Every structure is written in structure tokens, then in C-alpha cells.
Amino acid sequence: MRLIINKLFVIFVTILCFQSMIVAQNNVSTLKFDGVNDYVKYADDVLVNASNYTIEAWVNLPGGANTGGRIVQRFGCYMLYYGTSNNKLSFGIYQASNSQWYYYHSNNNVLPDDFEWHHVAVIRKSSPASLKLYVDGIDVTSTSYSGKTLRNISGRNLYIGNDGGGDHYFKGKIDEIRLKNVAEDISGLNTDKNDSEYTVDANTEALFHFNEASGTTTANEAGGSATIHGATWGTIGDLWFPIELADFNAKRANGNIFLNWVTFSEINNKGFEVQRSIDGITWKTLGFVEGHGTSRDRINYEFVDKNPENLNYYRLKQMDYDGGSTYSNIISIVFSKNNSITLYPNPTNNIVNIAGLNTESEYTIYNKSGMVIQKGITNKNIDIKDFKTGLYYLKIKCKVHKFVKL
């Protein structure tokens, strides 16, 4: 069973509002969206009442970069979303009369990225005209207009996890999307005491349980089906990703290089193999840092390279107890032991950085045929974004250094 929040003060407020703790549906599966290219598309019209309506969902945010995004959107009509930059629950309505979007926003940080399930909803009433946003049954609306009516226009698809335009992808889990052509009472937003699922009634225009647990389609219980693009199936209680890794960085200090990284979630994590390379191609294992198995907490890791090279590339090989493994991104850092000149990154795409050069100096770049490609003066980096892919030679301080343009 999914429980909303285990923070006592929130439960206390919720109890005061509902006289019972809110629980979510006892479903067997849900959909996970990676924030990159996952979405669900329902091609049939969903025309809810323009003046009285309820749009709601259960969401689970994993934390980290780009958490949130579009929850549900009907292109050119309305959008319910969680801002990835401002941490606000928001609802936008397009008004054809003046070709303008109106946005209703919540207060900051009302929807925690805590790996727990939370209920979100927007309710529009015609008399008196009002539009409110709710999180876990609590009114969190901070922006107020006169309760704009909903735009209904045929031929507009309903999207879950995206805006239909190839952007604003949602990162997290979504379940129990419901659209009704009636303004629900606040007590009706949540499941009953027996924790039963939402059911279709005469006012339901769309209801997605995401109970299939497999396949590339999901049923609208009010009729029809939607196509799943990229989103993966998961269980209600599972963690978002096996490893949610962030902030992998390297720093020089006291003759060593300190590597630091953070995880926001772990499952079946045996640990991290720390690897180093001097060219970004051939790798050597330096050591192993034990993981924390399964965790939903923020965990800080550190590894010290006590014998760094002049130029160092680092990566992490995350290893599971079942033998699976994945690699982190690659980072680089220069450790100038003898003030010699080093080019990095190498190979490179756009910029050649020069370490160990303390004053502005003349330089010349040759291609592999010995032809002069570029001359100039620099003390830190050279722009090569317009160079063709290949091998080049940089002559500076009477020495020649090779680099590769990708």
C-alpha cells in the first residue's frame, strides 16, 4: 500500500482536514518516466466540462536534477505540471479569446521529492468562480485569477509525462490519472477507507490506472487506450532508479586528488570501483568503495587518489550484488607535479585547456601534414570548435604537444 507522507505534522494537518489519513490506491503497478523522452499519448478527445472540472493524479518524485515536468497536458488547452526549476505545482489554461496562457501556481516546495506518493489536483468551480490547486488534500494555491474556464477543442491529444511538443518531460512516477467534468468536493479526491481504486462514473472522462504492468498500451477505463512511449513499468513501492548518482567531482588538496560523489537512492548497490585513465581510453582500477545496499537517503562518498598523474581522467563503475554494473560520466583534472604544460581534455570537442602555463605565450597549431592552422597568444585555453576532426600539434614555449579534435 502506498502511504502519502510520514512526516507527523503533515499527517496532523491532513487529519484535521479530512478526519482520516489519506492513502493512495492499492495498485499493482505504475509507470516510471525518466525525464528525457518518456511519455504516454491518448489520441482520443477528452472534453471535460469547461466550468466545473477536476484533474488529478498521484505522483512520486525521486529528487535530483530535473525532477518533475508535465504531469498531464492537452496540447493548446491546459497543463498540470511540477516546475523543475521553481519547485511549484502549477496549472496553465489557454484562453483563445486573447491567445494567452494563464498560470496558477502553488507555494514553493509543497510537493516533496521524497520518494513518497502524493496526491495532486486542480479543481475549478463555476459558482462562485474559483480555481484551486491541492497537494494531499491541502489548498496550496498562491496565484489567483477569476477561475478561467477550460478550453475545449476537438482533435487535441492528451499527454501524460510530456507536453506533446517534445519538451518538458516528467521525471518520476505517475499513477491514477483522472479527469472529471465535475468539481469534486475535497473529501472526494481521495480513496475511501477500504483503499479501493478510483472507479468510472457518469462524470469521468478519463481514468488511467496503469495496472497492466507490461506492454506498450494502457487503458482509459472510460473508453479507449493510450500508447506508451519509453515509460517503463514498475511496482508501487519500488525505488526510482537502482542508483541516483549526482555531484561527481575531483579536487586537488595536500598532494592528493579527492573524488566525491552523492547518491539519492540505492538498490542492491554493492559499491563503486574507482577507475583512472591518463588518456580517457585505457582504464586502471584504483580501489573500491562499498555501497549501502538499498537506501532512500542522501549518501556522500569520497575516495582519495594519493598518487595522481599529471593529467587524470576518473570514472566510477557502480556494481550490484547480482553482478550488474553501470558506469558514471567521466571527469578530468590536472595535477601539475612539475609545472609542465598539459593539454586537457584530450581528445576534445571545442576547447583546448592549457595547464602549467603561467604567462601569456605565443602558440602555433599545425595539422598532421605540417600546415599552420592557427596562431595566437594565450595563457589558458584555445578555441578549436571550427577545426576538422583529427590529430593536431600545438607548439608553445618551444615544445610541441599533440591533441585530438573529436
The residue ranges of every structural domain in the chain are 8-234, 243-334, 342-405
| pLDDT of 293 strictly over 90 | no
Mean pLDDT to the nearest integer, 6-18: 31
Query: Which residues sit opposite 287 in a β-bridge?
Result: 274
Q: How many angstroms separate the first and last alpha carbons of the chain?
A: 51
Q: Residues of the chain with pLDDT > 70: what percent? A: 85
Average per-residue pLDDT for the chain: 82
Question: Model confidence at 181, in pLDDT bands (50, 70, 90)?
Answer: very high
Is the pLDDT at 252 greater than 70? The verdict is yes
Q: Which of 81, 85, 88, 86 is nearest to 105 (CA)?
A: 88
Structurally, at CATH architecture level, domain 243-334 sits in Sandwich (2.60)
**What is residue 3's predicted lDDT score, i.e. its pLDDT?**
31
* Grid coordinates given for 285: 582500477
The C-alpha atoms of residue 147 and residue 132 are separated, in whole angstroms, by: 8
Residues 244, 32: contact at Cβ < 8 Å?
no
pLDDT confidence bin for 153, thresholds 50/70/90: confident
CATH class assigned to 8-234: mainly beta
Say which residue the cell 563503475 belongs to. 317
CATH superfamily label, 342-405: Immunoglobulins (2.60.40.10)
pLDDT tens digits, one per residue of 204-226: 999 999 999 899 999 999 999 99
pLDDT beyond 70 at 142: yes
H/E stretch holding 226: strand 225-229
**Residues 391 and 368 sit within 8 Å (Cβ to Cβ):** yes
Query: Are 243-334 and 342-405 equal in CATH topology?
Result: yes
pLDDT in tens, 75-106: 889 999 998 777 899 999 998 888 899 999 99
